[in-house]
Amino acid sequence: MLNSRYAPIVMLTVLGIIAIGLLAWFLAIKPQFDKASDLRAQTDAVVANTSQIDAQSAKLDEYAALLAEDSEIESAVALNAPSAIDIDGLRNRVWAALKSSKAELVSFEQQQSSAVDGWLADSSGLVSTQVAALFSTGPVGATAPAETATTDAPDPTATQAATTTTTSTGWTPAVTAVVTDGPFAGDIQMVPFTIDMVGNPEEIRKFIDAMQDPKDQLFQIYEYSLLARPAGSAPIPGVHDPDDGDVHATITAAVYVLNPDMTVVDEEKLTKPNPDNDAFSEKSEAKEQPAS
């Protein structure tokens, strides 16, 4: 048959069919296979990433429990480090402690406040950073430009337009963590108070115990001294005479203010257009000592 006069035609036809098949493969079929392969790779990546997110999402329950604990911390901060000091409340608290302990007050003095350095924290140790790290890659294969190359025209008269080539880097973070180190707390002010009192050691101990009630604002004692006050010692105005077994106690303690509220409220009108001459004179409004 190959010796037939149609053999060249048959050969050319077969070669043409093969050529058309090859062209169809490279021009139509192979790109579809490549595209399908890319889609399978992306699908596998999305499935794997979604599985990772499912696993990491399960950890959110742990952080939810920590968040619930934070509400208790918030209440503790509001109690122990408010934005302003309730001076009247603190004075009443001191007086109630004196009354229950039967100690006698010599003086109660507020000192100059001072700033407290916040505790610095590495951002990697913050819960927010840990949560963000769980979702640093998203389930969608978005790309982010990493390298951008611009080719300018060779001269102003050239007709070739400038071209820009962008190379993608892969996954775009779904959540970006804060990486700046910083303090746990903002503006913390320590306000010291010094309390002088007399009594026997047991009365002083009862006073301190009364001032350390956890239901009240923190009253942090950081200096404490006791001096004997035996009979014959120099008297102190306003308290009972010295006696054997008595002590003179000096306690320095601090309360704390977080982000102090410096708002000045001055909306009340004067009840009198001209204050009395002695309206601003120094007067003692100290209460009487509790009965011993």
Residue 92 domain-assigned (yes or no): yes
Q: 163-208 pLDDT, tens per residue?
A: 444 444 455 555 666 566 666 667 889 999 999 999 999 999 999 9
Residue 139 domain-assigned (yes or no): no
Cβ 149 vs Cβ 165: under 8 Å: yes
Angle at CA of residue 93, ends 253 and 286, nearest 5°: 95
Query: Residue 143 pLDDT > 90, yes or no?
Result: no
pLDDT for the residue numbered 180:
62
Residue 148 domain-assigned (yes or no): no
CATH of the domain at 230: 3.30.70.60
Please count the CA atoms within 13 angstroms of the CA of 85 that sit on its side-chain side: 20
Please, which pLDDT band fits residue 116 given cuts at 50, 70 and 90?
confident
Whether residues 191 and 53 fall in one domain: no
Whether residues 241 and 209 fall in one domain: yes
Q: 16-29 pLDDT, tens per residue?
A: 777 777 666 666 66
pLDDT for the residue numbered 83:
87
Whether residues 112 and 211 fall in one domain: yes
pLDDT for the residue numbered 288:
57
Q: Would you tell me the crossing angle of helices 60-80 and 127-134 to the nearest 10 degrees?
A: 160
Give how many domains the chain has, as a whole number: 2
pLDDT for the residue numbered 154:
47
Whether residues 21 and 95 fall in one domain: no
Cβ 132 vs Cβ 63: under 8 Å: no
> What CA–CA distance (Å, rounded) separates 22 from 60?
54
Whether residues 15 and 106 fall in one domain: no
Whether residues 11 and 116 fall in one domain: no
Whether residues 188 and 104 fall in one domain: yes
Residue 286 domain-assigned (yes or no): no
* Domain hosting residue 25, numbered range: 7-58
CA distances from 86 to 75, 211, 251, 269 (A): 17, 15, 20, 23
Whether residues 51 and 106 fall in one domain: no
Whether residues 200 and 242 fall in one domain: yes
For a pLDDT cut of 90, what percent of the chain falls above it? 31
Spell out the alpha helix ranges (H) of 175-248: 201-211
Spell out the alpha helix ranges (H) of the chain: 7-24, 30-58, 60-80, 87-101, 127-134, 201-211
Mean pLDDT along residues 221-245: 92
Residue 12 domain-assigned (yes or no): yes
Cβ 121 vs Cβ 183: under 8 Å: yes
The strand pairing partners of 148, in sequence order, are 166
Residue 231 domain-assigned (yes or no): yes
Residue 106 domain-assigned (yes or no): yes
Mean pLDDT along residues 90-113: 94
Whether residues 189 and 242 fall in one domain: yes
Which positions ≥6 away from 13 have C-beta within 8 Å? Answer: none
Please, which pLDDT band fits residue 76 given cuts at 50, 70 and 90?
confident
Residue 36 domain-assigned (yes or no): yes
209/138: higher pLDDT: 209
pTM: predicted TM-score of the whole model, two decimal places: 0.54
